[in-house]
A and B are shown apart, each in its own frame.
Chain A
Amino acid sequence: MRVVVLAALSFIIFKWVLIPIRAEGISMEPTYRSGSLNLVNRLAYRYRKPERGDIVGIKLAGPHVLYVKRIIGLPGEHLSIERGQVYINGAPLNEPYVKNRRGWDVPEVTLTAREYFVVGDNRGMRAADHDFGRVDVSRILGRVIF
């Protein structure tokens, strides 16, 4: 009986609350190595909005394949990247989690009220090989908790 309840509880938790994911690829290095196991908390943004610096799971067609990225731009902000340095509303953004930086250039974008700007921590990659950009808030599945 306990096993049944425990199994049901585990099913509910790991399907709707804490989604286990395995990071694939190098775009979040050195924070997350390819192959590392993490959990996405789907309830993280139930009572608060995503914040700058949060690492989030972004859904594609559904919750089984996610992008894992860091939020660097918030709704309404102007964001640009000049020679690898991120600027928010014209001011440089301090990013201690970035260890390698290539000279990426991204022309200024203005985020709408529903958009966040997300990017991986590995800026040592070529920008063309790295998926990053504006994302609608509805695609943010939750916060990666470790």
Chain B
Amino acid sequence: MPAAILVVLIGAAVFAWRTRETPNEREIRSRLDTLRNEVNTSTKDGIGVAVHAAQIGSYFTDDAIVELGEGATPIKGRDTIMGMVARLQPRTAAFRMDLDDVTIEMVPDSNAADVLLTASFVRRNISTGEESLDAREYAVVMTKADGTWRIARITTIDTLR
């Protein structure tokens, strides 16, 4: 039996070693977590909507690009993103975003990182309470400027083509 405990302990140590993160990776993960929380915070009053959109916009670089997939026009620039967030606000009251399977790969010799993640969007019908879920895979490029990680590009990956 002590051998079994040893195996478990070695397994746990190997698992911990393999899943260790650098400070930059931890920072990026934390940034994405706070972005998710920000997106999931709903507000409906005019000033609140503008502040909320600005807060979400602060997670993007000035020239950020969001590619929503084949056939859709890319969204270019932080201001455009903020405008879209502000317009979507009343609807996002019944909207929740989750981020799963976040893998971070630092680009060597640069202040950039490639992030792969699954974003799930749960929409709740306000009148019926019925929920629908839509999950998509995204490739995200993040860059660090002035000590802060921001999203420079989001590309939707077509899992099923």
Residues A36-91 near B (CB distance < 8 A):
58-65, 67, 69
Known contacts A60-B159, A118-B160; A65/B1 CB under 8 A: no
A-B contact count (CB 8 A): 65
CA distance A144 to B125 in the complex (A): 29
User: Chain B 1-30 against A: per-residue CB contact (8 Å), 1 yes, 0 no?
Assistant: 100110110010000000000000000000
Asked if residues B159 and A4 are in contact (CB atoms below 8 Å), the reply is no
Q: Is the CB of B159 within 8 A of A58?
A: yes
- Check B118 against A60 for contact (C-beta < 8 Å): yes
A residues within 8 A CB of B133?
24-25
| B88 interface hit (Cβ, 8 Å) | no
Q: How large is the interface on A (under 10, 10 to 19, 20 to 34, 35 or more residues)?
A: 20 to 34
Q: Which of B37-45, B48-56, B74-82, B100-108 is found at the contact surface with chain A? A: B100-108
CB-CB under 8 A from A59, the residues of chain B are: 101
Give Cα A118 to B138, complex, Å.
21
Name A65's contact: one of B7, B100, B160 (CB within 8 Å).
B100
Indicate if B136 sits at the interface (CB-CB under 8 A): yes
CB proximity of A35 to chain B, nearest CB, Å: 10
Say if the beta carbon of B132 comes within 8 Å of chain A: yes
Does B155 interact with chain A (Cβ within 8 Å)?
no
Q: Which residues from A are CB-within-8-Å of B4?
A: 1, 4-5, 8
Query: B135 interface residue, CB < 8 Å from A?
Result: yes
A92 smallest CB distance to B (angstroms):
23
Contact B101 A61 (CB under 8 A): yes
CB distance from A65 to the nearest CB of B (A): 4
Question: Assuming A4-B8, A8-B8, is B135 touching A65 (CB within 8 A)?
Answer: yes
The residue in chain B whose Cβ has the minimal distance to the Cβ of A26 is: B132
Is the beta-carbon distance between A61 and B8 smaller than 8 angstroms?
Answer: no
Chain A residues within 8 Å of B158, by CB: 133
B11 touching A8 by the CB < 8 A rule? yes
Interfacial chain B residues near A61, Cβ < 8 Å = 100-103, 116-118, 137-138
Contacts of A4 in B (CB 8 A): 4-5, 8
Give chain A nearest CB distance to B91 CB in angstroms. Answer: 18
A139 to B159, CA, bound (A): 8
Chain B proximity of A62: nearest CB distance (Å):
3
Q: How far is the CB of A136 from chain B (nearest CB, A)?
A: 9
Question: In the complex, what's the smallest C-beta–C-beta distance from A46 to chain B, in angstroms?
Answer: 21
Nearest chain-A residue to B122 (Cβ)?
A24
Instruction: Tell me the residues in window 111-156 of chain B with beta carbons closer than 8 Å to chain A beta carbons.
Output: 116-118, 120, 132-133, 135-138
Q: Could you list some 12 contacts between A and B, CB below 8 A?
A: A8-B7, A25-B132, A60-B137, A61-B138, A62-B118, A64-B118, A65-B100, A65-B101, A65-B118, A118-B160, A133-B158, A139-B159
